[in-house]
Amino acid sequence: MSQGFSLHIGLNGVDASKYNGWAGTLAGCINDANAMETICQSQGFTTQKLLDGEATADAILGAIGQAAYNLQSGDTCVISYSGHGGQVPDTTGDSPNGLDDTWVAYDRMVLGHELYNLWGQFAANVRIEVYSDSCHSGTVIRELFIPSGIRWPQSKRKAIPIFPQGRGLQNLKSVYAPAANTRARGPAPDVAATQKRSIPPSVALDVFERDMPMYEAAQWTRKRGAITASVILISGCQDNQESQDGQSNGLFTEKLLSVWNSGNFTGSLPQFHQAILALMPAEQTPNYFTVGVNDDVFTNSKPLTIVVDQRTSATGQPAKPPTTQQGPVVTGPSTYDRSKSNGPAFTVSPGANAYYAFEITSDPNCFGYPAQRTADNFYASWNDPQVKSRFTGATYNLPPYAWAALRNNSALYFRILTASTFDLGRWDNYAVSTADSDAASAPTIALNGAIASPPLVPA
């Protein structure tokens, strides 16, 4: 029978002596941890809680490591973290924004890279839910690398160069200074004061500089081999945002508890994320991010619940075992009448990622060669000033002005580009339905009907 273990971390403050005098005082984090533990206890989990001084980096990493040792295939693990988040420079050069997201433990920062390395210690098909109510937490569980086949251009990387005689502090500051000056757009109206769950960038930078050998070693220590567990993160915000604290709970946890509704929520994990997202302000956008295998049973299960497989009577094995992550897919009509005023609609399955952008062209070479693109042969939602975000819905409708520009072509090729982040400036976990090298095999719409003359006027 499947077992469940949950770990709940809450820090209303840290050891100021470890953070150059900064105590990191918050109000709602211990309440968050207590509330999350209460939910998991009600669902039959064996629970552990680390509060304030108990929540050292070693205690957090050790508790997750022990869970990895004890849990077996088919078991469920829930980890909740409420406290400060931060970002430090990525010394490896693999992160496109030059920064590594962190949890601010009582005595030092826990790197997202360290968390990622732990996921590989879990047995195959263990289901892991992570809830992070902290700043810069959108992809805190990931490793610092670009997915297979995607390498961030060397000229774009912001790693701190390694010099034979040591590191130049000025280079480090030049990397981190932009992030240090970035602040959220303002508090939500129902949150007390403007307290954010973010370590001040200047403190994070000073601590990182002081303890650089330790942090650098953690970043360069890589997990080898595939992660065979399934990890789903629902975070309090995106990597470039801050999570807001409150007197009772953090804003993210407050909305999570509201959606949970004392256990009356009956949807899946993606639906849980979407329901929380609908209650959040624009300046704090919870993220949905996955690592490891794509387990359909897990993804479609009720959140904060021990997952129970439907097993066959003959073998006792799961009736539908986990599968490897499936790539994004988009389909559309095979033919379309160009005389129609509205453009075609497309059915989208973004795969493991939550967000997607759309591209359509009369020349498949335009997918990989930007110089060949013109207004009447190529359209991309990510380059449309009227589109302010990526998409999440299962149906995509081509805007009328894009259809007006493209409909006099004989055929149109289309694809989607997906990412695990909402931020238009990032492409974490980038995946595409048709690669540039296979552009000619992209799904196609044959256009028929009379050539429009004059063309439709964009709205």
pLDDT at 27: 93
Question: For residue range 11-36, what is the model confidence (pLDDT) as tens digits?
Answer: 999 999 999 999 999 999 999 999 99
Going by C-alpha positions, the residue among 179, 192, 211, 180 that lies closest to residue 110 is 211
The span from the CA of 269 to the CA of 259, in Å, is 12
384 and 399 Cβ atoms separated by less than 8 Å? yes
307 and 5 Cβ atoms separated by less than 8 Å? no
The span from the CA of 151 to the CA of 157, in Å, is 10
Read off the pLDDT band of 132 (50, 70, 90). Answer: very high
Question: For residue range 232-268, what is the model confidence (pLDDT) as tens digits?
Answer: 999 888 766 778 888 899 999 999 999 999 999 988 9
Does the pLDDT of residue 109 top 90, yes or no? Answer: yes
The span from the CA of 97 to the CA of 136, in Å, is 12
More confident of the two residues 75 and 181: 75
Six token digits for residue 106:
């009582």
Give the pairing of strands 355-361 and 395-397: unpaired
Q: How is the chain split among helix, strand and coil, in percent rounded to 5?
A: 25, 20, 50
Read off the pLDDT band of 222 (50, 70, 90). Answer: low
What is the H or E stretch that residue 73 is in? none
The span from the CA of 21 to the CA of 251, in Å, is 27
78 and 129 Cβ atoms separated by less than 8 Å? yes
2 and 126 Cβ atoms separated by less than 8 Å? no
Read off the pLDDT band of 156 (50, 70, 90). Answer: very low
Q: Stretch 63-81: mean pLDDT, rounded? A: 96
Does the pLDDT of residue 97 top 80, yes or no? Answer: no
Q: Stretch 296-305: mean pLDDT, rounded? A: 93
Rounded alpha-carbon distances, angstroms, from residue 263 to 43, 227, 252, 254, 279 = 9, 31, 17, 14, 18
Lowest mean pLDDT among 72-76, 107-111, 307-311, 394-398: 307-311
Handedness of CA 16, 17, 18, 19 (dihedral sign): positive
Highest mean pLDDT among 64-68, 155-159, 215-219: 64-68
pLDDT at 225: 67
200 and 97 Cβ atoms separated by less than 8 Å? no
Q: Count other Cβ atoms within 10 Å, centred on residue 41.
A: 12
Q: Stretch 219-239: mean pLDDT, rounded? A: 81
Q: Stretch 126-142: mean pLDDT, rounded? A: 73
The span from the CA of 294 to the CA of 303, in Å, is 16
**Which residue has tokens 């962190």?**
102
pLDDT at 450: 87
Give the pairing of strands 4-10 and 378-380: unpaired
pLDDT at 407: 94
327 and 298 Cβ atoms separated by less than 8 Å? no
pLDDT at 258: 93
Question: For residue range 180-211, what is the model confidence (pLDDT) as tens digits?
Answer: 444 333 333 333 345 888 899 889 989 999 99
Give the pairing of strands 355-361 and 378-380: antiparallel
Longest CA–CA span in the chain (Å) reads: 75
Going by C-alpha positions, the residue among 201, 19, 18 that lies closest to residue 101 is 201
Residue type, 454: P
Angle between helices 212-220 and 201-210 (to 10 degrees): 90
Q: Count other Cβ atoms within 10 Å, centred on residue 369.
A: 12
Read off the pLDDT band of 223 (50, 70, 90). Answer: low
Give the pairing of strands 127-133 and 76-82: parallel
Strands lying side by side in the sheet with 109-111: 85-89, 99-104, 109-111
Percent of the chain with pLDDT over 90: 49
Question: For residue range 43-54, what is the model confidence (pLDDT) as tens digits?
Answer: 999 999 999 999
Question: For residue range 318-366, what is the model confidence (pLDDT) as tens digits?
Answer: 444 444 446 799 999 999 999 999 999 999 998 888 889 999 999 998 9
**pTM of the predicted model as reported, rounded to 2 decimal places:** 0.64
The span from the CA of 431 to the CA of 294, in Å, is 15
2 and 82 Cβ atoms separated by less than 8 Å? no
Q: Stretch 369-385: mean pLDDT, rounded? A: 89
The span from the CA of 212 to the CA of 167, in Å, is 10
| Average pLDDT value over all residues in the chain | 81
Does the pLDDT of residue 148 top 50, yes or no? Answer: no
